[in-house]
Amino acid sequence: MSDSSDRPARKAVVIGGASGIGWATAQALAAEGCRITVADLNAAGARSRAAELGAPHTAAAVDVTDEDSVQRLFDDAGPLDIAVKCAGFSNVGLITDMPVADFRAVIDVCLTGSMIVMKHAGRHLRDGGSLVSITSLNGRQPGAGMSAYCAAKAGLSMLTQVAALEMGPRGIRVNAVAPGFVHTPLTAAAASVPGVIEDYVDNTALGRAGTPQDIANAVVYLCSPGSSWLTGEVLDINGGAHLKRYPDVMGHVMRLVEQS
């Protein structure tokens, strides 16, 4: 995806860029010659990451559940070539036990927040730009105790397709990447539960968990000329986990609780 020397650097905003998949994506796009705005709810973390990348890369604070915050981010960034939304989180609980507020919190970040980002990114992306969201294996594979996250990610997959239809006339490509289990700060709590990692790996055809770089590589491809005829796609990057069953995360959590 490297830019030719006689062309100005592409401008990219990476939301959730202070850690995990977002940080790997920011680094990968910067290595391809893009000028990055590292945006995150963790403003100090975003500034630190932008400093690691060095000039001309910049940082910004953003809360994807706050439309004014998202609008300011894109207004300040100006015309863009690439926008990537990596921000997300999950919780665990049976539907019959889950407070509605906990369900809504996940939907707000993972689904409604994605719509807000698409709305304002779509207004600032140049014709021919690329918009990528990070969804999940849980968009197609249900997991007991993960109702909010599964529903949000399934919704994001369809939202991606609708946005691709709407933005296609301007040549803007809208795609998503659906990771399986990837070692990040987001998944650290699940990874600490005995049996969870083993269950994931046993149900992954390639026999390993993913890395943030695995996902960043896919994002770089979706932002490159090599994917110029690809839009409305959700790429499964999960080592073949979608070919097997989803791990019994809730069961492992409940066994841990019973032992405590």
Would you tell me how many other CB atoms lie within 10 Å of the CB of residue 191? Answer: 14
Nearest to 88 by CA among 204, 207, 178: 178
Q: Is 76 helix (H, G, I), strand (E, B) or coil?
A: helix
Positions annotated as catalytic residues are 149
Structure tokens, 56: 């001309």
Sequence-ordered list of residues with C-beta below 8 angstroms from that of 87, at least 6 positions apart, any chain: 15, 16, 22, 40, 41, 64, 109, 113
Burial class (CB in 10 A: 0-12, 13-18, 19+), 195: middle
